[in-house]
Chains A and B, each alone.
Chain A
Amino acid sequence: MAFMHGIRGHGRSRHPKASRKPGHPPTQWYLNPNLHVAINCILMTVAEICLQLGAKDASQVDVPKWLAWTGLRDFVSGWTIAGVVVYICAFANWLYVLRWLPLSVAYPITSATQVLIAISAWIFLHEHLSFLRCIAILLICCGIVLSSKPAANAEEKL
C-alpha cells in the first residue's frame, strides 16, 4: 500500500527519494505510473480469463430468469469470484494510475489487455492464432505505442 501513502501524502513522504514537486509522480521506480498501467493490463487479463471460465461454469446452472438477466448467476462459480477479486485489485491500481496520468492517455494503453488475452490463449490454452488476428494484434500494438507517446510528458499539473 505504499502508493496509497503517495496519494495521501502529496509530496510529504519522509522517504528521501520521494521528495518531488506537488503534482508530479513519485520518483521511485515501483511507483512509476507507466509501470502501474502495465500491471493493470496484466491484472485485467487474469480477471478476464477467470470471468470467461466462470461464465462457462455458470451457464450450466438453472436459476430464475430475473437473476440470469442481471448476470449475477455467474457468481455460483469460484472462477467468477476469483475474477472479481483480481478486478478489485486492478481497480485500486487503476485509481493510482488516474491520479497521475490523463484519462485520454492511460485508457487507450489498457487496450494491451486484448493483445495479452490473445497471446495468453495461444500459449496456455493452445488456441489457434490466425493470420488476421496477428494483423489485428499488430495494429493494436501500433495504436498503443502511438497513444502512449504523449504519456512521456503526461505529468499533470494538478
Chain B
Amino acid sequence: MSLVPLLLVLVSQAAQVGGQVLLKKGMTPAQSKRRKRVVALQLGAGVGLLTVWFLLWMNLHEKMELSYLFPFQGISPVLLVIAAAFLLKERTHWRTWAGIALISLGTVLVALSEKQGV
C-alpha cells in the first residue's frame, strides 16, 4: 500500500474515533444554558468528524480492494476503547479487551477469506 492511501485510512480511523468520543461527551446531561452550548459544539464537532470519516471511507472503498481495506476496520474498536479509557476515563473490564482482541482477529480473518477465496 502506498503512503497516501495509508495516510487516508489512518486519518479516517482517527476521525471516526474522535467523532465517537465527542458524541459520547455531548450526550452527557446538560445542566445549564452554557452547558447546552458546549453540548451543541461537541455534537456538531462529532458529526463533522464522522462526516469526514464517512466521505474518506467511501472514497477508499472505490480506490482499494475490500480485502485490503477491511483489516483497518478491525483496529477501530481497539483505538476507540483506548480513547474511551484515556479521554472519557471509562473503566474497561478485562473482558472488553479480550473481546476486542477476538473481534479484531475475526475482522482480519474475514479479509483473508476474501483475499484467498477460501
Contact = CB atoms under 8 A, between A and B. Distances in A.
Interface of A: 10, 51, 55, 59, 68-72, 74, 87, 91, 94-95, 98-99, 102-105, 107-108, 111, 114, 118, 130-133, 135-140, 142-150, 158
A132 B98 contact: no
Contacts, number: 136
Interface in B59-86: 59, 61-62, 73, 77, 80-81, 84-85
7 contacts: A99-B27, A102-B90, A107-B20, A107-B80, A111-B107, A114-B106, A143-B99
- Range class of the B interface residue count: 35 or more
Contact of B100 (A99, A108, A132, A149): A108
A23 B97 CA distance: 26
B24 A103 contact: yes
A148 B112 CA distance: 26
B107 to A, nearest CB: 6
Contact of A139 (B29, B59, B95, B105): B105
